[in-house]
């Protein structure tokens, strides 16, 4: 089996509503999305001969995904008051509402689902919340 791995990062803030600990407060991370794809055979001809896939295509896809979350406040739907959202929008803050609690585990699954639709033969997705702490999601996990 062949594996390729690439990563990209983004900076954003989040909080864990209903959590009894420090992470209930808004705080930021440099999130890292690490993607590993797999395949049994390399391309036999053409521009990608001898490759699983073109690294450039994989890197661009992962980078675009990371950039879509960069420098934002990510929050779970129904965890902020409408007046709070409005006040933040009035200040031109970039807000991203998601349907799940913004944990590394949930992001790993979420990014896996998005990237698996791109046909790369996804093995797993690792999301680092800090340099030492990460969550991994994949069918083989």
Instruction: Provide the annotated active-site residues.
Output: 23, 71, 129
CA distance 26 to 118: 32
Q: Helices H, strands E: what count in the chain?
A: 3, 6
Cβ-contact 12, 74 below 8 angstroms? yes
- Separation between Cα atoms, residue 12 and residue 95, nearest integer Å: 10
Cβ neighbours, 10 Å, residue 3: 12
Residue 80 in tokens: 């902020």
Output the CA angle 72-85-23, nearest 5 degrees: 60
Q: CB-based contacts of 50: which residues, under 8 Å, 6+ apart?
A: 42, 43
């Amino acid at each position: 089996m062949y594996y390729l791995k690439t990563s990209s990062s983004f900076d954003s803030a989040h909080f864990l509503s209903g959590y009894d600990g420090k992470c209930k407060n808004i705080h930021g991370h440099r999130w890292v999305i690490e993607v590993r794809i797999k395949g049994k055979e390399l391309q036999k001809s053409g521009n990608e001969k001898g490759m699983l896939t073109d690294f450039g295509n994989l890197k661009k896809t992962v980078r675009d995904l990371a950039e879509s979350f960069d420098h934002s406040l990510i929050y779970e739907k129904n965890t902020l008051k409408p007046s709070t959202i409005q006040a933040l929008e009035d200040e031109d803050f970039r807000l991203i509402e998601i349907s799940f609690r913004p944990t590394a585990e949930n992001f790993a699954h979420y990014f896996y689902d998005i990237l698996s639709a791109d046909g790369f033969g996804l093995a797993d997705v690792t999301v680092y919340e800090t340099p030492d702490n990460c969550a991994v999601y994949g069918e083989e996990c």
